[in-house]
Amino acid sequence: MSYQVLARKWRPRSFREMVGQTHVLKALINALDSQRLHHAYLFTGTRGVGKTTIARIIAKCLNCETGITSTPCGTCSVCKEIDEGRFVDLIEIDAASRTKVEDTRELLDNVQYAPSRGRFKVYLIDEVHMLSSHSFNALLKTLEEPPPYVKFILATTDPQKLPATILSRCLQFSLKNMTPERVVEHLTHVLGVENVPFEDDALWLLGRAADGSMRDAMSLTDQAIAFGEGKVMAADVRAMLGTLDHGQVFDVLHALIEGDAKALLEAVRHLSEQGPDWNGVLSEILNVLHRVAIAQALPEGVDNGHGDRDRVLALAQALPAEDVQFYYQMGLIGRRDLPLAPEPRGGFEMVMLRMLAFRPADSADAPRQPLKPVGISQATVDSAKPVAGAAVVAPVVAAPVPEPVPVVAAPVVEPEPVVVPEPEPVVDLPWNDPVDAEVEPEVEQQPAVEPVLETTGEQPELTPMPTPTPDSVVPDAPEWVSAPVPEPTVAQVEAAVPGIDDDEPPLDEDYIEPDMDSAYSYLDDLASEHTAEPAPEPEPEPAAAPATGLALQWLELFPKLPISGMTGSIAANCTLISIEGDHWLLHLDPAHSALFNATQQRRLNDALNQYHERTLTIAIELIKPEQETPAQAATRRRINRQREAEDSIHADPLIQQMMQQFGAVVRHDTIEPVEAPVPQAS
């Protein structure tokens, strides 16, 4: 008789022979015993977890000659034919090779025929996610309402690819992966019955290599039996799989705990004889440290998936918890940096030596022999001593100070071994700011240049200072000097200001704190002269009187006119004075006359003609309106909204509580009205 592989020989033939998947078996057994049978089942899960096996067992349960039961006899002709794969009413379809809609239609054409032998015709569609979208659409109606003698069993490893319309028509069961413990338990039973000698460590290697699949575990066991000449030994299985000896990982950790660098490097040397993947070795060490941390927090929570539970518990007692976390973190960083190492083994050794060198020195099981000094700079030990060869900051040379100004000199500290003279601080005066730059001892003094900006009060006699270099920094300069001004440019300022020589810029001591309003006003005027764009319009001043009569009519008319831009700005600052037939007279604030010209007047006239649908003639005179203009009305409304927003903030109980308890201050410049209403004539 030909040899039959273990995966087929030991395929379960009833529910009681199934390994695992109790959450699925319980539901199926209860449904069969109570005759609550669904017409479509969907089994999902990774390869080799029992999807097809359960489907065949269900077919036996439905068609067994003893009746519909969860425990088929296994001896009747129907059960034997299903086990041998020749039962005519069990149609197994490989959806991966029959993806076309024509194949699905052929299948559905045979659904209408009653079963030949059994009670039910069972369609087992494996890898159903491989069907095309047209095949799914063709299957929908039959899958929802099949004949009473038809049962559909679908199996897939990728349920995400199934349409929701298919999922909603099936009872879905998700099969779980097999744990290494369950795989080892089943392999122990199988090899015991088959009279094959084995070692427990070998079965654990096979259980982890199966990665949750019982069929893979059985196939690997077949391979291990052939490799080991009828035996399943750990050394043979390790050589066959090319995996790392797990015991050597513990040897590395034991040497690390003992602080023995020689034993640590010796353990690494033994690892290198197997030619391992050093990144994988580091991953195994991290896995062990992870399980050690679990053992320290919850000893009963440690699984025996690697067959080393006792060794993990022993490590948990010998290694402090903080060391475990430290080693784990350093291993993660070392694994990230391992590809950057010139040689993988050297990178792994550096990670281990780094763990050994930086372990907490005050722990009870610290290394017995401290590492020898490796030429570490004494500056890291005694930070009070200066570092030889360090960069020396050049002393600040203060300018001569007039007699009335006292100078406070600090003693010069002479540290060992390098003498670093300290700067001589001077009294911080607004006209005598020290310059943090290296200058020559003797500098030719230049006459002071008369400042352009006018200031109030008498200024003391100033002593000129050396011209600062471009990289020099004025530490305590006034804000108006240090703040960057986007425009005008420096060249524009120097070209426009009289009395300043282009070749010799003014000295720092010549800058005198000016009046801020006059300074910014001067810069604004200077910017407007050197830019092509017109200066921004001034804020409209409050009106002398509220709008009435024609002025009020103009306020209501202005938002309806089809104008914008400069034309709209001119109209917003006008007010209607008189209407004589088709002739209108408007007054424009002279402060906004810079934008006014004949073109703007023509555009405004066209807008009025378009709105009134007749020809009007307007005249605009540059006279300050006495009543409120649309621009002034918009400003008034904006101020009112801002005031209301500020009042609502101050009236908030939570804000008041914060101000009382914590001394909070409301910054009014950060308050903005929410959802400002559309401007309307008041």
Distance CA 574, CA 567 (A): 11
Distances (CA, A) of 36 to 33, 42, 43, 92, 120: 8, 16, 18, 24, 15
Cα separation of 658 and 667, whole Å? 14
Both tokens of 554, joined, read 């103009």
Measured distance CA(213)–CA(207) in Å, rounded = 9
Per the structure block, which two tokens stand in for 564? 């914008």
Q: How far apart are CA 660 and CA 254, in angstroms?
A: 63
Are residues 476 and 433 in contact, defined by beta-carbon separation less than 8 angstroms? Answer: yes
With the CA atoms of 620, 624, 630 and 631 taken in that order, what torsion angle do they form, in degrees rounded to the nearest 10?
120
Residues in Cβ contact with 652 at an 8 Å cutoff, skipping those fewer than 6 apart: none
Residue 614 pLDDT: 85
Q: How far apart are the first and last CA of the chain?
A: 106
Q: Are 72 and 79 in contact (CB under 8 A)?
A: yes
Q: Residue 496 and residue 22: Cα distance in Å, rounded?
A: 92
How far apart CA 248 and CA 268 sit, in angstroms, is: 9
3-state SS class at 44: strand
What does the alpha-carbon distance between residue 138 and residue 133 come to, in Å, rounded to a whole number?
A: 9
DSSP tally for the chain: helices H, then strands E: 25, 8
CA distance linking residue 296 with residue 301, whole number of Å: 10
pLDDT of residue 633: 87
Task: List, in order, residues 6 or more apart from 465 with CB less than 8 Å away.
Answer: 399, 435, 507, 508, 509
**What residues contact residue 419 under an 8 Å CB cut-off, 6+ apart?**
none
Count of CB atoms situated within 10 Å of the CB of 215: 21
Domains of the chain in start order, with CATH, are: 6-174 (3.40.50.300), 180-241 (1.10.8.60), 246-357 (1.20.272.10), 479-529 (no CATH), 545-682 (3.30.300.150)
Phi-psi region of 259 (alpha: psi -120 to 50; beta: other; left: phi over 0): left
**Could you please report the per-residue DSSP string of 383-444?**
TTSPPTTPPPPPPP-PPP--TTS---PPPPP--SSS--PPP-----BTTB----S---SS--
Three-class secondary structure of residue 366 per DSSP: coil
Task: Give the model's pLDDT for residue 209.
Answer: 87
Contact 567, 552 (CB under 8 A): no
Return the H-helix or E-strand segment holding 61: helix 51-63
Q: What is the pLDDT of residue 174?
A: 93
pLDDT value at residue 26: 92
Is the preceding omega at residue 488 within 30 degrees of 0, hence cis?
Answer: yes
Dist. CA 326–CA 360, nearest whole Å: 9
Structure tokens at 618: 């307007």
| Amino acid residing at 649 | I
pTM of the model: 0.48
DSSP 93-147: EETTT--SHHHHHHHHHTTTSPPSSSS-EEEEEESGGGS-HHHHHHHHHHHHS--
| Longest distance between any two alpha carbons in the chain, whole Å | 124
Weakly modelled stretches of the chain, pLDDT under 50: 1, 363-415, 417-421, 425-486, 488, 490-523, 526-536, 682
DSSP 8-state class, residue 35: T
Q: Which of 321, 318, 305, 44 is closest to 155 using CA atoms?
A: 44
CB neighbours of 637 closer than 8 A, spacing ≥ 6? 677, 679, 682
How is residue 286 annotated by DSSP? H
- What residues does 619 pair with on adjacent strands? 585
Q: What does the mean pLDDT of the chain come to?
A: 76
Q: Do 315 and 251 form a contact (C-beta atoms < 8 A)?
A: no
Neighbours of 126 (CB within 10 A): 19
